[in-house]
Amino acid sequence: MVKKKLRAGVIGFGYLGYHHARIYNELQDVDLVGIVDISEERRIKAESELKIPAYSKLSELIEKGIDIASVATPTTTHSEVSLPLLDAGIHLLVEKPIADTISNARKIVEKAKERNCTLQVGHIERFNGAVRQLFNLIENPRFIECHRLSPFPNRGTDVSVVLDLMIHDIDIVLKLTGSEVVQMDAVGVPVFSESEDIANVRLRFASGCVANITASRVSMDRLRKIRIFSNREYVSTDYTSQNLLLYTKKQGPIPNNGNVMDMIDITPINVSSEEPLRAEITSFVNCVRNGTSPEVTGEDALKALELCWKIIEQIRAQK
């Protein structure tokens, strides 16, 4: 069990890296030692806005003797950045997806085991207050519907929308079902980038549950919702507002006359309003400090990545 104040670093000081650094800087039991970024402009921003040292080389930060680090670089660089950190015995929080390829993801997972390092992967929706409640409300989902739509971003387009956006919902669906995929039907198209910008997949699980998942980064509007149906309950969740509604069928016979919809109780569920990224980083720090397993392990992330690549391969096989 770690008692000392943890020394932290952040690699990659773009949009996500900035917020990782901001939160580490605010935690009382963490010292943010520095950030690494190849951009001089971003290094200047780190030093001027957060008053922390900034380095151009990863080795310079490792030499400072850090205990933990967040990897928030482009997905295609996760492996080359994570492996030296793990070799140095540094516990890692790696932004999702864990890596660009299954091979690189396995290298990270295996290196973490070899070096006995905590490896948590940034599937941030697991720390959304509404999503956390989902796992307590639904035990045997029969049908799941997910929509994750956004305008075209200025980041993340180096990978398919399946790895950029859909992977969030893939991870949650795998957690909710706890079952293996037995059938898959996927489609996707590129619009502004070289890989898929819109994708849809219908998954059938061994449990009998069916999930329909849509992701788009070329939508005019933002939408992040999940709906889950069981035999007696229906749960609707808005990721953004962290609102959660539980629809439950009342006991007793359905009336012959009147509105049958009166047989449904609608219950708003109270959820934590804590910033999901803060909850994620705090959980990571606590896991390192207490020697406990992270909520999203490297194995969890690898499983989600493997399914995402099967989806991508089916989409591209149709061209």
pLDDT of residue 154: 66
CA dihedral 311, 317, 318, 319 (to 10 degrees): 120
Q: At what angle do helices 298-317 and 167-177 cross, to 10 degrees?
A: 120
Which letter does DSSP use for residue 162 in this model?
I
One fold for 6-124+277-296 and 126-273+306-317: no
pTM, to two decimals: 0.91
Which letter does DSSP use for residue 56 in this model?
S
Tell me the C-alpha distance between 77 and 79, whole Å.
6
pLDDT of residue 157: 65
pLDDT of residue 270: 87
Among residues 67, 72, 56, the alpha carbon closest in space to that of 14 is found at 72
Helix and strand element counts for the chain (H, E): 10, 14
Sheet holding 181-189, edge to edge: 181-189, 198-205, 210-216, 143-149, 223-229, 233-238, 243-249, 264-268
pLDDT of residue 148: 95
Please give the chain's pLDDT, 319 residues, in tens: 556 899 999 999 999 999 999 999 999 999 999 999 999 999 999 999 999 999 999 999 999 999 999 999 999 999 999 999 999 999 999 999 999 999 999 999 999 999 999 999 999 999 998 888 888 888 889 999 999 999 987 665 678 999 999 999 999 999 999 999 999 999 999 998 888 999 999 999 999 999 999 999 999 889 999 999 988 788 998 888 888 989 888 887 777 777 777 778 888 888 888 899 999 999 999 999 999 999 999 999 999 999 999 999 999 998 6
At residue 277's C-alpha, the angle toward residues 273 and 279, to 5°, is: 60
Q: Return the domain boundaries, the chain.
A: 6-124+277-296, 126-273+306-317
Mapped onto helix, strand or coil, the DSSP state of residue 55 is strand
CATH of 6-124+277-296, one of 3.40.50.720, 1.10.10.10, 3.30.70.20, 3.40.50.300: 3.40.50.720
Which CATH code for domain 126-273+306-317? 3.30.360.10
pLDDT of residue 238: 86
Whether 137 and 235 have beta carbons less than 8 Å apart is answered as: yes
